[in-house]
Structure 1
Amino acid sequence: MELHAARQIIDTLAQGIHPVTGAALPDDSPYNAPPVIRALVVVSKALDVPFPHVPVKVLPPNAGKPWTEADDQALVVAFDAGVDTKAIMAKLGRTRFSVEARLVKLGKLQARDGSVPFRTRAV
Structure 2
Amino acid sequence: MRTRPVLVYDGDCGFCTTSVKVVQRLLGPRCVTVPWQWADLEALGTTQQRAEHEVLWVTPAGPVYGGSEAVAKLLLRSRAGWPVLGALLTLAPLRWVAHGVYRLVADNRHRLPGGTAACALPARDPRKA
Using the size of structure 1 for normalisation, the TM-score is 0.24
Q: Which has the higher contact order (CA 8 A, sep 6+)?
A: 2
Using the size of structure 2 for normalisation, the TM-score is 0.23
Identify, as 1 or 2, the structure richer in strand: 2
